[in-house]
Amino acid sequence: MIRLIFSILIIAAIQTESISQYTFSTEKMAPCTEVKNQQKTGTCWSFATTSFLESEAIRMGEQDVDLSEMYVVQNIYKDKATNYVLRQGKANFSQGALAHDLIRAVTKHGVVPETVYSGRENEQITYNHSELEKGLKGFLDGVISAKKIDSHNWQNAVDAILDVYMGDAPESFVIEGDMMMTAQSYARKLKLDVKDYVNLSSFSHHPFYNSFILEVPDNYSNGSFYNLPIDDLMNTIEFALMEGYTVAWDGDVSEKGFSSKNGLAILPITQSEKQWKKPVPEQKVTQQSRQDDFMNYNTTDDHLMHIVGVALDQKGNKYFIVKNSWGEISDYKGFLYMSEAYLRAKTVGVLLHKNAIPAPTSRKLFSSNNE
């Protein structure tokens, strides 16, 4: 409950606060937990989607929840190692993944509280997976080069490497004083039904209102996304937030208009220092312009975050309140305001509860013809 209260108080404090000449008022804000820091790791996908699941648990009545990001990360490393070896090295092996990979991991392995497994010896140690990633990949490349391999030996070795760098996750643990749980039973306690969550995207090189495999490097598991026209996708995101749901967001943060220091993600027509001081005119984003940016690599899936609310600036322009995983930076303590134009242009995909999709759109997506 402390973490939930912490985040609510932060948003209450900043909703009418002015940074330079920006003033925001909150239209809708869903409960979320406190901002964390992924530090020197490429595990934003786990931090963003774990935060999303924490908000889901809170929405369904859980009073205090703090899930371990690194429990899922460890299991995804194992999954990626198997995929990499079976594909004989012709696959992506990195720290990155997507939101649906966490959902898959929860299906198979469950979740655990942060207090049970942190993925490091203590909080004073900085998360840093650079050596772990390189060491694992080097070992796997050696396994593949052997041609004839013993699957039990190399898989046991991967487990051992992960245990050394991240610690051994317990098979069972005690919560609330005397309740013995496993990761799977804890996920059930939180009422996290992974079948309730779906991926959405918007790209015109695939048919709309059908599913497709998103062609980005971190989609190593070939996860499917339902394809919507950008207007429908934007409407769905806003509808979900106004109904009290939250959204796990995957997109591009390499634009000059993205500044965690200033707590803003904007898409100005002209770049200038004054864009950080007051609202400025932003670019018009169309289905074609975002498609062009995706096809020429101007838009890539380089970061995942958690959208938790909707706000307006003093001119009535709409923004989305986003929880980042880079620590409590900026005057917004790790949250930022993403403009409607930026979201429209730089969204690669989102994950949300299927009940958070407007009924007309849901009928088009999940009709028997498209399933």
Q: Which pLDDT band holds residue 63 (cuts at 50, 70, 90)?
A: confident
Task: Please give the pLDDT value at position 11.
Answer: 54
Using DSSP bridges, classify how beta strands 258-259 and 347-353 pair: parallel, antiparallel or unpaired.
unpaired
Could you give phi then psi for residue 128, rounded to 5 degrees? Answer: -155, 110
Domains and CATH numbers, the chain: 2-366 (3.90.70.10)
From the centroid of its chain, how far is CA 65?
17
Residues for the chain: how many in total? Answer: 371
In this prediction, residues 155-167 reach a mean pLDDT of 96
Q: Which helix (H) or strand (E) holds 7?
A: helix 2-14
Q: How far apart are CA 120 and CA 284, in angstroms?
A: 45
pLDDT at 210 over 80: yes
Distances (CA, A) of 10 to 211, 250, 258: 38, 24, 21
In this prediction, residues 15-26 reach a mean pLDDT of 71
Whether this model's pTM surpasses 0.75: yes
Q: Which pLDDT band holds residue 16 (cuts at 50, 70, 90)?
A: very low
Share of the chain above pLDDT 90, in %: 88
pLDDT at 17 over 80: no
**Token reading at 265:** 């993600």
pLDDT at 253 over 60: yes
Question: How many Cα atoms are found within 13 Å in the side-chain-facing hemisphere of 81?
Answer: 28
Partners of 25 in the beta sheet? 312
* Amino acid letter, 107: T
From the centroid of its chain, how far is CA 203?
19
For 347, other C-beta atoms within 10 Å of its C-beta total 25
Task: Please give the pLDDT value at position 257.
Answer: 97
Using DSSP bridges, classify how beta strands 179-181 and 318-323 pair: parallel, antiparallel or unpaired.
unpaired
Are 283 and 267 in contact by the 8 Å Cβ rule? The answer is: yes
Q: Which pLDDT band holds residue 10 (cuts at 50, 70, 90)?
A: low
Could you give phi then psi for residue 42, rounded to 5 degrees? Answer: -100, 45
In this prediction, residues 231-238 reach a mean pLDDT of 98
Residue with tokens 């074609």: 288
Distant-in-sequence, close-in-space partners of 341: CB < 8 Å, separation ≥ 6: 266, 267, 282, 283, 284, 285
In this prediction, residues 16-26 reach a mean pLDDT of 73
Share of the chain above pLDDT 70, in %: 94
Lowest-pLDDT choice from 132-136, 191-195, 317-321, 360-364: 191-195
DSSP count for the chain of H helices, then E strands: 11, 14
Task: Please give the pLDDT value at position 358.
Answer: 97
Q: Which pLDDT band holds residue 218 (cuts at 50, 70, 90)?
A: very high
Mean pLDDT, the chain, as a whole number?
A: 93
In this prediction, residues 366-371 reach a mean pLDDT of 61
List, as one string, the DSSP characters of 40-88.
Answer: BSS-HHHHHHHHHHHHHHHHTT-S---B-HHHHHHHHHHHHHHHHHHTT
Q: Which helix (H) or strand (E) holds 133?
A: helix 130-145
Task: Please give the pLDDT value at position 181.
Answer: 94
For 222, other C-beta atoms within 10 Å of its C-beta total 9
Lowest-pLDDT choice from 18-32, 110-124, 188-202: 18-32
In this prediction, residues 322-344 reach a mean pLDDT of 97
Q: Is the alpha carbon torsion for 340, 297, 228, 253 positive or negative? A: negative
Q: How far apart are CA 158 and CA 138, in angstroms?
A: 11
Q: Which pLDDT band holds residue 370 (cuts at 50, 70, 90)?
A: low
pLDDT at 368 over 60: no
In this prediction, residues 336-347 reach a mean pLDDT of 98
**Residue 304 DSSP symbol:** E
Q: How far apart are CA 154 and CA 82, in angstroms?
A: 10
Using DSSP bridges, classify how beta strands 303-313 and 22-29 pair: parallel, antiparallel or unpaired.
antiparallel
Q: How far apart are CA 321 and CA 263, in angstroms?
A: 10
- The residue among 358, 307, 363, 316 whose CA lies nearest residue 337 is 307
Are 256 and 131 in contact by the 8 Å Cβ rule? The answer is: no
Task: Please give the pLDDT value at position 144.
Answer: 94
In this prediction, residues 340-351 reach a mean pLDDT of 98
Could you give phi then psi for residue 364, rounded to 5 degrees? Answer: -70, -40
pLDDT at 371 over 50: no
Are 344 and 249 in contact by the 8 Å Cβ rule? The answer is: no
pLDDT at 146 over 70: yes
Task: Please give the pLDDT value at position 64.
Answer: 85
pLDDT at 3 over 70: no
Lowest-pLDDT choice from 55-64, 92-101, 144-153, 291-300: 144-153
In this prediction, residues 22-26 reach a mean pLDDT of 96
Residue with tokens 């964390």: 36
